[in-house]
């Protein structure tokens, strides 16, 4: 009996243990109570509380919204946090014992820390002119007061509440980063608003927190591999005490108990703690948290949709079609019926094509992060078989198609070079590479006899080349260099010409000279033929029809009449029917380039060659979507004549498939079929679709890993074993409970590579609700002093209606917004929510007189543009005043074409008569116009010209050269091409560079869309100095280094520009 009872008790304890074993993976934002006994943290976007010793956590909130950033009050009675309830981010309060959370104020402030009296919070808020600033927020809902204009979220109040220490700059996931954007700790004296930099290390400092029991400052500092936890006293950083020796993951977002020095912090997917009272070697350890709830979550998602497909293919016999819906492929008869699902892994479909038997489907889709090929039979469509080819295990499939010649064409990414091409015979057999010299950018255009192919490639210097390939000899013959991107190519049946799409226009290249009148109709010949006497033709004798045989006669036997001699039939030897003679390929090289002629263009559409139809006719697509025009199939002669519309697919149509004379296409998610000359017919598609979000998140991780590894500019991945990174992070991605957890995994993995121009932007889930837009008035207010009634204007944005029409001034008092009186408790953000572009009515007072004004609400981008224009105008004014208008000033905010046009406009108008020029690329966000800018500055005058109509005084040529002194300004916010320009300027010794070292973020990048709608940046091209130095990680180093501090920002000083003025004046 005792044995039975013992077994039962053991089973019960085991079951209880299992029930309590749920671990909160990816718990974050830990905050420790003042006494160090409890920890509040965020898990699944809700707040939880657990003992410092670990154990079962207790849920504090349970909403559909997201909560984050909890902070305990000093008296332990409240927890402040932020939440996006209702689609707006506000600060909230909740008791640690639970209950209803209440918004402190309906304005967009972010919680940082409590003041020691527990009746106010240190918070931050964004300001268009200064960025994030510090404020003191009372708990009674009255308006916060400004402490300092420049601040950041990770900050801490000193125990006496007289100063703030915060981290400025730094990348949380790039522990190995060194450069001007490394994180450092700064101190603000609240009384004087004086900023002091506390640290200046090689790697980043982050997450400062004071202990109020000892006054020590705890913080994290990177050792180049991981962020470790440190402690220092009296803000002395030369010999701090290192508390952690973390070897796998970094410490982040630390929290320190006010009454002792217990610490909690994030440790990737877990929470860790530091206990100074624990034995040495056990002070830093896992905070063991259990979630005593059923952690099951339903990851299944269901859709019932009609006509919302994204990709199609149709069998040649037009009996079957395959289509993609969301993340998987389906099969269905063209005429209707219930779709059969082909794939179930949410890996997305990049392409699919029916093979020649109309019963096998070839599919390109993701598999373990890379694009691979599979086949499936319509008899068993869920049984996918991986296609074996020479690169099936290691190479990434780019795309493939079945050419009209019957050849299969496969594009794949090689280990070193992308967009390589291989061809296969019927049934995808005998696949072999053609070994093009450079990545192929066009189709592989195979002629009718299948003896030759034409294609275009792009060289590393972005020169395009056109080639002909001989299948028999495997020889590649270069025809010419091209001056633009070539996409689609086609042959005329006689092999005499190539048609090709280039730059959205269609060209014809005659390999041999053609008779330009060859297809012209001779109307005179027809007319003369009518007047000519018809030739007499000898009538052929007609045999008389045999009389019909009656039924009785047909049944009677026929008697044979013997002849005198048997008929001798000459035996003819059998022979093979003669094959038609294959057209030969002839290239007449003299004048070849002159025979490349444009035959079609359209100013409101991009034109793309589709296919030939006979000797003189071809079809092409006219895509006018960028110009709000329709997608159209047209035809024309090879001379560009007789262009006409064959089919109008409508607006926003795509994925046109041609099968046996019928065109299938998708328009706004709906599938249509149409033959030339007929009306389109809708093919309704009804889908019942179920997918698993956890599986989808894993697929997204695999795709991120795959495309990043395939495209990163350094094949060595900055010294990281990329396959090992996959193996390390995949299990965490598989455990991600939502896309936010997945983002944490991706950021950690990509951060290990330590590269700029990266970023993962997760999809927005439907349950995230609506987005509410902040509205701006074109005014800023004095928030350092709270008024009982109204808001005092501290700044009026120039060139706004309130400025030039109502002539508002600093000191005016805003009293009403849309009839609502402004008091100390009025949430102005709420009054202005979602009013961008809408009429807003204001009342103001000046010296007792009332001013009524009405304006349209401004968006963030509009107010930012106004602030930028004001700042640049002040800098230009400063240069004029300090140089007596002798020196010009141009700021370049980015490196796009429009920025170059603006630069040249300002250079040759406002600055053309200046004696010198200051070029300012501080804050430049990049692009690619550095070469155009350098070309202007390096160009020399080489002649003079005169004009009797103006003046005979010689004028130097070229006019566009700038041969006067210049100087360049750069800072830590100069980015990408905004760094390349000053680096090249400096190397060419065009002048001095003044300012602060740039961040070293120099990689060519582009945006990449992922299978689920998330996106990421792909840093695909490196930049190096002439001596081989990688610009990534080094950046621009000014000749004269001047730091611009927060003190300068608040005081509206510009010491960097001041020094540039001093230097340039020495040269004139």
CATH number of 339's domain: 2.120.10.60
- Same-domain status, 748 and 822: no
Written as six digits, the tokens of 288 are 């063991």
Look at the chain and count its residues: 1068
Residues 804 and 940 in one domain: no
Q: Is residue 964 part of a domain?
A: yes
Q: Are residues 345 and 264 in the same domain?
A: no
Tell me how many domains the chain contains.
5
CATH number, position 801: 2.30.42.10
Contact 777, 842 (CB under 8 A): yes
Residue 858 Rama label (left phi>0; alpha psi -120 to 50; beta): beta
3-class SS of residue 681: strand
Tokens encoding 466: 């056109």
Which two tokens mark 665? 């296409």
Look at residue 1054 and tell me if it is in a domain.
yes
Q: Angle at the Cα of 324 (from 318 to 325), degrees rounded to 5?
A: 130
| Residue 517 burial (CB count, 10 A) | 9
| pTM, 2 dp | 0.89
Residues of the chain with pLDDT under 70: 1-21, 530-583, 766-770
Domain check: are 911 and 815 in the same one? no
Q: Calculate the alpha carbon distances from 970 to 897, 906, 993, 1053 in Å.
A: 20, 19, 7, 16
Same domain, 740 and 814: no
pLDDT score of 765: 77
For the range 906-910, what are the long-range contacts, defined as Cβ-Cβ under 8 Å and sequence gap of 24 or more?
Answer: 907/936, 907/962, 908/960
**320 and 384 assigned to the same domain:** yes
Tell whether 127 and 218 lie within a shared domain: yes
> Is 82 domain-assigned?
yes
Q: How many CB atoms lie within 10 A of CB 795?
A: 14
Tell me if 422 is assigned to some domain: no
Q: Which of 659, 726, 717, 753 is nearest to 356 (CA)?
A: 659
Q: Are residues 135 and 265 in the same domain?
A: yes
Instruction: Provide the CA 770 distance to its chain's centre, in angstroms.
Output: 22
Residue 550 confidence (pLDDT): 38
DSSP 3-state percent helix, strand, coil across the chain (nearest 5): 15, 35, 45
732 and 697 inside one domain: yes
- For residue 768, the model assigns a pLDDT of 54
Distance CA 125, CA 148 (A): 11
Nearest to 413 by CA among 706, 762, 733, 787: 706
Same domain flag for 136 and 162: yes
Quote the CA–CA distance of 255 and 34 in Å, as a whole number: 10
- Please, which residues have CB within 8 angstroms of residue 596's CB and are 6 or more apart in sequence? 480, 507, 508, 509
- Residue written as tokens 């409508």? 650
Residues 410/351, Cβ–Cβ less than 8 Å: no
Is residue 519 situated within a structural domain? no
Q: Domain of 725: which CATH number? A: 3.30.750
- 85 and 224 in a single domain? The answer is yes
Q: Which residue, 433, 357, 438, 462, is CA-closest to 402?
A: 357
Q: What is the pLDDT of residue 650?
A: 92
Q: Flag whether 485 is in a domain.
A: no
Domain endpoint, select from 380, 413, 446: 413
Of the residues 290, 325, 351, the one at which a domain ends:
290
Terminal alpha carbon distance of the chain: 106
Tokens of 136: 């003191």
Choose one of 734, 768, 802: the last residue of a domain: 768
CATH number assigned to the domain comprising residue 1041 = 3.90.226.10
Instruction: Confirm whether 489 is domain-assigned.
Output: no
Q: What is the structure's pLDDT at 652?
A: 86
- Shared domain for 707 and 811, answered yes or no, is no
**Containing structural domain, residue 761:** 689-768
Q: What is the dihedral of CA 3, 8, 14, 17, to 10 degrees?
A: -130
CA gap 407, 500 in Å, rounded: 20
Domain-embedded: residue 335 = yes
What is the spatial distance between Cα 873 and Cα 867, in angstroms, rounded to a whole number? 10
């Amino acid at each position: 009996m005792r044995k039975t009872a013992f077994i039962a008790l053991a089973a019960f304890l085991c079951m209880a243990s299992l029930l309590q074993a749920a671990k909160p993976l990816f718990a974050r934002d830990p905050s420790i109570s003042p006494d160090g006994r409890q920890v509040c943290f965020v898990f699944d976007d809700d707040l939880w509380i657990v003992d410092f010793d670990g154990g079962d956590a207790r849920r504090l909130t349970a909403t559909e919204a997201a909560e984050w950033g909890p902070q305990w009050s000093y008296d332990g009675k409240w927890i402040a946090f932020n939440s996006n309830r209702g689609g707006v981010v506000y600060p909230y309060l909740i008791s640690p014992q639970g209950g209803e959370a209440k918004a402190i104020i309906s304005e967009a402030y972010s919680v940082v820390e409590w003041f020691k009296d527990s009746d106010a919070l240190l918070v931050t808020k964004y300001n268009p002119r200064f960025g994030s600033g510090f404020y003191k927020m009372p708990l009674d809902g009255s308006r916060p007061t400004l402490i300092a204009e420049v601040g950041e979220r990770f900050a801490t109040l000193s125990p006496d509440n007289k100063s703030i220490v915060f981290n400025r700059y730094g990348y949380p996931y790039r522990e190995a980063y060194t450069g001007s954007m490394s994180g450092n700790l700064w101190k603000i004296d609240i009384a004087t608003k004086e900023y002091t930099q506390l640290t200046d290390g090689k790697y980043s400092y982050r997450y400062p927190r004071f202990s109020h029991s000892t006054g020590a400052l705890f913080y994290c500092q990177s050792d180049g591999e991981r962020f470790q936890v440190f402690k220092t006293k009296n803000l002395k950083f030369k010999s701090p005490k290192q508390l952690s020796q973390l070897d796998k993951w970094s410490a982040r977002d630390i929290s320190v108990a006010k009454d002792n020095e217990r610490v909690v912090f994030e440790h990737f997917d877990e929470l860790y703690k530091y206990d100074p009272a624990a034995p040495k070697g056990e002070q830093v350890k896992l905070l063991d948290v259990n979630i005593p709830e059923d952690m099951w979550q339903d990851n299944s998602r269901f859709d019932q949709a009609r006509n919302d497909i994204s990709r199609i293919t149709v069998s040649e016999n037009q009996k079957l079609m395959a289509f993609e819906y969301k993340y998987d492929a389906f099969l269905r008869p063209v005429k209707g019926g219930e779709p059969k699902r082909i794939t179930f892994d949410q890996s997305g479909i990049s392409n699919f094509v029916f093979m020649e038997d109309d019963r096998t489907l070839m599919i390109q889709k993701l598999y373990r992060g890379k694009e691979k090929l599979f086949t499936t039979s319509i008899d068993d469509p869920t049984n996918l078989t991986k296609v074996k080819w020479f690169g099936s295990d290691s190479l990434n499939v780019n795309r493939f198609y079945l050419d009209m010649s019957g050849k299969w064409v496969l594009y794949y990414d090689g280990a070193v070079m992308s967009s390589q091409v291989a061809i296969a015979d019927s049934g995808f057999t005998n696949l072999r590479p053609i070994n093009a010299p450079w990545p192929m950018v066009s189709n592989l255009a195979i002629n009718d006899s299948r003896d030759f192919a034409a294609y275009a490639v792009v060289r590393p210097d972005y020169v395009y080349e056109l080639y002909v390939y001989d299948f028999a000899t495997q020889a590649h013959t270069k025809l010419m260099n091209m001056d633009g991107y070539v996409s689609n190519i086609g042959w005329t049946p006689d092999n005499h010409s190539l048609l090709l799409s280039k730059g959205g226009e269609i060209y014809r290249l005659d390999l041999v000279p053609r008779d330009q009148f060859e297809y012209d109709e001779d109307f005179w010949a027809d007319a003369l033929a009518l007047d000519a006497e018809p030739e007499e033709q000898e009538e052929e004798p007609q045999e008389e029809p045999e009389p019909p045989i009656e039924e009785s006669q047909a049944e009677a036997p026929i008697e044979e009449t013997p002849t005198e001699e048997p008929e001798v039939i000459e035996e003819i030897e059998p022979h093979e029917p003669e094959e038609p003679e294959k057209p030969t390929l002839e290239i007449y090289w003299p004048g070849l380039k002159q025979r490349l002629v444009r035959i079609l263009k359209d100013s409101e559409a991009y034109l793309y060659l589709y296919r030939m139809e006979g000797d003189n006719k071809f079809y092409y697509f006219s895509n006018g979507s960028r110009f709000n025009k329709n997608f159209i199939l047209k035809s024309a002669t090879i001379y560009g004549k007789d262009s006409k519309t064959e089919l109008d697919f409508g607006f926003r149509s795509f994925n046109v498939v041609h099968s046996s004379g019928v065109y299938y296409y998708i328009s706004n998610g709906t599938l249509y079929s149409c033959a030339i000359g007929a009306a389109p017919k809708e093919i309704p598609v009804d889908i019942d679709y179920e997918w698993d979000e956890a599986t989808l998140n894993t697929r997204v991780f695999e795709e991120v890993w795959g495309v990043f590894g395939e495209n990163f500019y350094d094949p060595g991945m900055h010294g990281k074993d990329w396959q090992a990174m996959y193996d390390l992070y995949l299990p965490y991605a598989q455990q991600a409970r939502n896309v936010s957890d997945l983002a944490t995994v991706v950021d950690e993995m990509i951060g290990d590579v330590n590269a700029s121009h990266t970023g993962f932007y997760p999809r927005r889930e439907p349950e995230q609700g609506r987005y509410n837009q902040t509205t701006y008035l074109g005014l800023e207010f004095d928030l350092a002093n709270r008024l009982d009634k109204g808001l005092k204007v501290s700044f009026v944005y120039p060139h706004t209606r309130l400025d030039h029409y109502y002539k508002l001034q600093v000191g005016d008092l805003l009293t009403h917004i849309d009839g609502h009186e402004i008091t100390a408790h009025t949430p102005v953000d709420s009054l202005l929510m979602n009013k961008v572009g809408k009429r807003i009515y204001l009342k103001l007072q000046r010296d007792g007189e009332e001013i009524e004004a009405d304006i349209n609400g401004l968006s963030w981008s509009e107010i930012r543009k106004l602030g930028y224009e004001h700042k640049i105008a002040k800098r230009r004014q400063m240069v004029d005043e300090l140089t007596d208008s002798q020196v010009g000033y141009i700021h370049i905010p980015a490196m796009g074409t429009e920025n170059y046009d603006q630069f040249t406009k300002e250079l040759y108008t406002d600055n053309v008569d200046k004696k010198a020029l200051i070029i300012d690329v501080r804050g430049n966000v990049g692009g690619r116009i550095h070469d155009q800018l350098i070309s202007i500055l390096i160009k020399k005058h080489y002649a003079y010209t005169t004009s009797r109509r103006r003046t005979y005084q010689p004028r130097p040529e070229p006019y566009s050269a700038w041969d006067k002194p210049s100087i360049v300004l750069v800072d830590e916010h100069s980015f990408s091409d905004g760094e390349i320009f000053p680096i090249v300027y400096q190397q060419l010794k065009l002048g001095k560079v003044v300012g602060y070292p740039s961040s070293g973020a120099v990689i060519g990048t582009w945006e990449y869309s992922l299978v689920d709608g998330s996106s990421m940046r792909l840093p695909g091209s490196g930049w190096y100095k002439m001596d081989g130095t990688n610009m990534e990680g080094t950046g621009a180093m000014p000749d004269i280094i001047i730091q611009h501090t927060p003190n300068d920002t608040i005081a509206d000083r510009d010491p960097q520009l001041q020094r540039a003025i001093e230097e340039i004046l020495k040269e004139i």
